[in-house]
Amino acid sequence: MVKIKSIEYFRVLPRWLFVKVCDENDNHGWGESTLEGHTQAVEGCLDALIQRFRGFEADDIEHLWQCAYRLGFYRGGPVLMSALSGIDIALWDLKARRLHVPLHQLLGGAVRDKIRVYAWIGGDRPGDVENAAKARIKQGFNAVKMNATEDVDWLDSPRALETSVERLRVVKALGMDVGLDFHGRLHKPMAKQLAKALEPHAPLFIEEPLLSEHAEGIKQLSKLTTCPIALGERLYSRWDVKRFLEDTSVDILQPDISHCGGISEIRKIAAMAEAYDVALAPHCPLGPIALAACMQVAMCTPNFVIQEMSLGIHYNVEVGQYDICDYIHNRAVWDVKDGYVEGLKGIGLGIEVDEEEVRKVAVNAVAWLPKGFMGPDGSIREW
């Protein structure tokens, strides 16, 4: 058995936080602890975890996970779980690399050989999303996700929802499947109206139709619509997920592997979901390490259905240079053909991180700040 020698983290553009773990034999693995808009908080948590886990056995991934989660008395939440995620992913990568196997081989082996993916498109007008969707088709995608609405008040004019239906109709006319991200922006009076209006046009799913803290509202909404309901990016463990499964209010779980405790925990969430006939479609508008970890889980998870990719997402484009291909050497692993990416076949996570580039960018990278909306009366609206 070999002990953990070092744990480092790297803040990089556009808004990602990478983690590297090395053991005493100089084996290494990479993880991702990105928590958008809360980088400094996660870095502080990582500092604390690094002090605790330097010298732990690198192979004892579950024991480390249990120690991080249970021995601090206060459990869960986005900051702790994101910090833990990065270390957990890195330890799985390290172990698989040391054994010279793809990571999914340590999780039971492959149940598929390629992975269906979707990309993000922006635009508030039908013509904008049509052009964006055509560009995604040229890249090889046949499914996309877009915002359902702009910012909406607690109770707003029904006119605020009219363009949502038209944008969905326009993109579906191109032959694409379309997920609509409510983003938790809508409150119950508006979410009920929009779900009903969208239903005849058959979105692939509606995501976060209400904020996850409104579990009773989501349960009510699930009984009012046939649109598949997806959520999970703001659920940070199997205990957070449990109520939604018991309520039978969700059709597709979207845990974020960088927020929910890493590979160890997302596998348990997936198994719970399978027992309730709920699909898995991990949330991942993040970096290449998180995406590779999701892909490894997808390869060995029977109820996996589709994977989000941040290729060309507006958060990346705003920074300019950096996207999911820019911190790895084997960029072809993200090539999309007929809506699928080939299963990652390399050892570990299946990507080769460009450590020189990571360290260079980390020197001056600033933390990405959270965004938000204000209504015309000056009050806060959900982002």
Which residues form the catalytic set?
183, 283
CB neighbour burial string for 274-289, b if at least 16 within 10 angstroms, e if fewer: bebebbbbbbbbbbbb
Contact present, 255 and 235 (Cβ < 8 Å): yes
Q: Tell me how far apart the alpha carbons of residues 113 and 126 are, in angstroms, rounded to a whole number.
A: 35
Among left, alpha and beta (phi > 0; psi -120 to 50; other), residue 40 is alpha
**Hey, what are 348's tokens?**
């570990």
User: How far from chain centre, in Å, is Cα 228?
Assistant: 18
For residue 284, the one-letter residue type is: C
Rounded to whole angstroms, how far apart are CA atoms 85 and 64?
11
The residue type of 147 is N
